[in-house]
Chains A and B, each alone.
Chain A
Amino acid sequence: MAKKFICSQCGQTFEAASMPDKCPICGADASKITEVKSKGINTNGNVYTFVYATVMVVIVAFLLAFVASALKPMQDANVARDKKNQILTSLNVTGLKGDAIDKKYAEVITEELQEQGGTVYVATVNGVTKYVLPVKGRGLWGGLWGYISVDEDKQHVYGTYFDHESETAGLGARIKERWFQEQFNGKPIFDETGEVVLTVVKKGQSKAETEIDGVTGATLTSNGVGAMVTEGLKQYKEFLNK
Chain B
Amino acid sequence: MGKLFSKENCEVFSNPLNLNNPIAVQVLGICSALAVTSQLEPAIVMGLSVTVITAFSNVIISLIRKTIPNRIRIIVQLVVVAALVTIVSQILKAFAYDVSVQLSVYVGLIITNCILMGRLEAFAMMNGPWESFLDGIGNGLGYALILVIVGFVRELLGFGTLLGFQIVPDFCYEHGYMNNGMMTMPAMSLIIVGCVIWAHRSINKEEK
Residues of A participating in the B interface, judged by any CB pair closer than 8 Å:
43-45, 48-49, 52-53, 56-57, 60, 63-64, 67-68, 71, 74-75, 78, 81-82, 166-171, 173, 216-217
Residues of A within 8 A of B70 (CB): 43-44
Question: From DSSP, what is the main secondary structure of chain A's interface residues?
Answer: helix
CB of A170 within 8 A of CB of B83, answer no
User: Do the beta carbons of A170 and B39 come within 8 Å of each other?
Assistant: yes
B residues sitting closer than 8 Å to A (CB atoms) are: 35-39, 42, 46, 66-72, 75-76, 79, 83, 86-87, 90-91, 93-95, 97, 101, 104-106, 108, 155, 158, 179, 181, 184-185
A residues near B39, Cβ cutoff 8 Å? 169-170
Q: In the complex, which residues of chain A have a beta carbon less than 8 angstroms from the beta carbon of B86? A: 64
Among candidates A63, A82, A168, A216, residue contacting B83 with C-beta atoms closer than 8 Å? A63
A181 smallest CB distance to B (angstroms): 15
Chain B residues, Cβ within 8 Å of A170: 36-39, 42, 155, 184
Q: How far is the CA of A78 from the CA of B75 in the complex (A)?
A: 34
Cβ-defined contact, A75 with B93, below 8 A: yes
Do B185 and A217 touch (CB < 8 A)?
A: yes
Majority SS of interface residues in chain B?
helix
User: Do residues A169 and B35 form an inter-chain contact, with CB atoms below 8 A?
Assistant: yes
Beyond A57-B79, A78-B97, A217-B185, 16 additional contacts (C-beta under 8 Å) are A43-B68, A43-B70, A45-B69, A52-B72, A56-B76, A71-B93, A71-B94, A75-B94, A82-B101, A166-B104, A166-B108, A168-B105, A169-B38, A169-B46, A170-B155, A217-B184
Residues in A whose Cβ lies below 8 Å from that of B90: 67-68, 71, 75
Question: A-B contact count, CB below 8 Å?
Answer: 84
Q: How far is the CA of A164 from the CA of B82 in the complex (A)?
A: 23
Please indicate the chain B residues that have their CB under 8 angstroms from the CB of A173 in the complex: 105
Question: Measured between C-beta atoms, what is the minimum distance from A95 to chain B in Å?
Answer: 13
Complex Cα–Cα for A48 and B184 (A): 50
Q: Which residue of A lies closest to B97 (CB)?
A: A78
Q: A78-B94, A170-B36, A170-B39 are in contact. Are A64 and B67 (CB under 8 A)?
A: no
The residue among B35, B83, B105, B184 with the most chain A CB atoms within 10 A of its own CB is B105
Q: Which residues of B contact A48 (CB under 8 A)?
A: 69
When distances are taken between beta carbons in the complex, the residues of chain A under 8 Å from B69 are 43-45, 48-49, 52-53
User: Which residues in A have their C-beta under 8 angstroms from that of B93?
Assistant: 71, 75, 78
Residues of B within 8 A of A75 (CB): 90, 93-94
Residues of A within 8 A of B158 (CB): 217
In the bound complex, CA of A64 to CA of B84 (Å): 9
| Cβ contacts under 8 Å, B66 to chain A | 43
